[in-house]
Structure 1
């Protein structure tokens, strides 16, 4: 009987629970279970929205960069095309200008050739018949030359008796003359020439001095 009581006491002693052990194990199990459920459920709703927004922003930025790169490539291609077109235009206009210059010179030379022929004929006539009539021939040739160059816009500046003009005349000397207004062209040493409105060469002249001042309306 005493032995049975002793065995019963030992069984009770072995079955006495340790305080806190069973509760801790349950808490850990619940925590593991919750973590597993959260992992299975994925991120919270707010976090998912943030991730989605960031992803959309990254995609939008990538699209913007791609668009900018495409526009830059298109602008570069357009610039290169315009540069090539400008180079071609510049070369073409330079060639056209050179060609026009050659054609203009050819036209002038064609008009001058008959004058050269006249000079040769006048020289040959003077050699065969003496100098008789040579002066008249030279005068005729000079007139023809003036007509040829006048056809191409060349005008002689022969200002004898006209008021002095510093834009078209070059004074090389002064002569006293009280009979004409001051600074009147007295003599033309060398004619000048203008082409259109441009003075190619001013006339070399002498001008009067000592005469009355030229009136403003005459100027």
Structure 2
């Protein structure tokens, strides 16, 4: 069975290949410059040969002009070939660099998401402590815990974390999980009645859905034009 390399080894191999390609690009530039210089010299040689100097076919002057023209054509061909190789290598390098940057951003986002997810229970403990201090009149404790909690949440929000606290809003199964229903004939059906545990998200990714109760038995909420058009598809 053929052993497969780790992702790190694969990236390392790819990086080595691209470094080799970059070195070849440098060589290409050198060779292209030399070819261009040869081309210029050949062109000058052709320009230096006047019509008066070309006397007889097969004479040294004519042969010299023919050699110079051949050099010119060959040098021009080499320059075009090396320019093509250089452009291809440059495009490959840009693609590799872009993919590497994108992968780095993805890995950074995953690491941040994991860290935030691991910290959510700590926020829950803060909020439970705030609830306890509020219910029992522990003013000194309440003020201190509130300050730490607010600072902690503020740090997370600076990294793009958003709180999901949908009390009074239509129930959204993508951001909340209903743990119970509450009969309420006065409220629209499937409205979030209470949030037992707040949810959190980063961008469009939900790190943890909110735990909520939703109303039932009330009037149906009118669908928006967009929702109505989707239901008829």
TM-score under structure 2 length normalisation: 0.42
Structure possessing the higher radius of gyration over alpha carbons: 1
TM-score under structure 1 length normalisation: 0.44
